[in-house]
């Protein structure tokens, strides 16, 4: 029971925070639960894609392998399936009627993924890892979701720039996720020195994006 609490508590704390930041029209609870479940389910194809892409890194030296594993194996695989889940679940849904909704659903999908990943890490490496991930990996997944949802919402309501924003809603989370993982995988003193500043940047950028869209209702553009 303790393991479950440690694994899921940060997920639900962030989920409730994002839910209550949606000022004008709360999203249906059933659809939010479906988003969480979708994020959890995509762990399965992500595992297979990561195994496939990871098989090509055997001949790389240490830092090239760290970069490949960070940006391609982890970031690309995970953010791609989050994006696919977001698009097929939300894009044509009638409840996607505000820009901020993109952030809400993207974060919930990301948190569903983070919950399963967090549980896996705690089972394999101990509950202490869960305490660390509660302040690092879980919020990071949510913040990648904020970025994805921000551009996804812009794509929905600015059709003249739709292709651009849809592209950015996938590209930028991959880049941010890749940088995050590379810092940890490279284990180079200079990269570790920028870990906390990078986390600060993720929070500042994510909260700025949330603030920008949370004040915009369906009646505003």
Task: Give the model confidence (pLDDT) of 17-30 as tens digits.
Answer: 999 998 888 999 99
Task: Give the model confidence (pLDDT) of 4-61 as tens digits.
Answer: 788 899 999 999 999 999 888 899 999 999 999 999 999 999 999 999 999 998 788 8
Query: Which pLDDT score, from 0 to 100, does residue 221 have?
Result: 45
Measured CA to CA, the distance from residue 176 to residue 75 in angstroms comes to 8
The beta strands (E) that lie in the chain are given as none
Question: Block means of pLDDT (10 residues each) for the chain, length 221 residues?
Answer: 83 95 89 97 97 90 92 98 98 95 97 95 89 92 98 96 98 98 85 86 96 67 45
Measured CA to CA, the distance from residue 73 to residue 51 in angstroms comes to 8
Query: Which pLDDT score, from 0 to 100, does residue 41 have?
Result: 98
**Cβ partners under 8 Å of residue 81, min gap 6:** 42, 45, 46, 49
Tell me how far CA of residue 63 lies from CA of 73, 126, 199, in angstroms.
Answer: 14, 28, 21
**Cβ partners under 8 Å of residue 113, min gap 6:** 39, 40, 42, 43, 46, 78, 82, 141
Q: Are 107 and 146 in contact, with CB atoms under 8 Å apart?
A: yes
Q: Are 65 and 57 in contact, with CB atoms under 8 Å apart?
A: yes
What's the CA dihedral at 74, 45, 122, 20 to 10 degrees? 90
Query: Which pLDDT score, from 0 to 100, does residue 63 have?
Result: 87
Q: What is the pTM of this model?
A: 0.93
Q: Are 119 and 40 in contact, with CB atoms under 8 Å apart?
A: no
User: Which has the closest alpha carbon to 154: 146, 142, 36, 200?
Assistant: 146
Query: Which pLDDT score, from 0 to 100, does residue 216 have?
Result: 61
**Cβ partners under 8 Å of residue 177, min gap 6:** 74, 75, 78, 79, 140, 144
**Cβ partners under 8 Å of residue 24, min gap 6:** 98, 100, 217, 218
Copy the structure tokens of residue 76: 């690309």
DSSP class of 1:
-
Checking 195-203 for CB contacts under 8 A at 24+ apart, the result is 199/136, 199/140, 202/139, 202/140, 202/143, 202/176, 203/139, 203/143
- Tokens 């941010």, residue located: 176
């Amino acid at each position: 029971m303790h393991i479950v609490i440690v694994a899921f508590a940060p997920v639900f704390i962030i989920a409730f925070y994002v839910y209550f930041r949606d000022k004008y029209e709360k999203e249906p609870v059933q659809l939010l639960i479906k988003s969480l479940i979708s994020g959890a389910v995509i762990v399965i194809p992500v595992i297979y894609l990561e195994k496939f892409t990871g098989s090509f890194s055997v001949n790389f030296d240490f830092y090239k392998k760290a970069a490949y594993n960070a940006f391609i194996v982890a970031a690309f695989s995970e953010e791609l399936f989050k994006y696919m889940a977001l698009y097929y679940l939300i894009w044509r849904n009638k409840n996607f009627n505000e820009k901020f909704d993109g952030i809400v659903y993207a974060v919930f999908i990301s948190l569903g993924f983070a919950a399963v990943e967090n549980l896996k890490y705690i089972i394999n490496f101990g509950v202490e890892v869960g305490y660390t991930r509660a302040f690092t990996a879980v919020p990071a997944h949510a913040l990648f979701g904020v970025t994805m949802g921000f551009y996804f919402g812009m794509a929905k309501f600015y059709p003249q720039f739709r292709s651009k924003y849809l592209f950015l809603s996938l590209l930028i989370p991959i880049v941010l996720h890749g940088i995050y993982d590379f810092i940890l995988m490279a284990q180079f003193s200079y990269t570790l020195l920028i870990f906390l500043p990078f986390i600060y940047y993720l929070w500042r950028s994510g909260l700025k994006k949330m603030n920008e869209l949370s004040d915009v209702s369906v009646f505003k553009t």
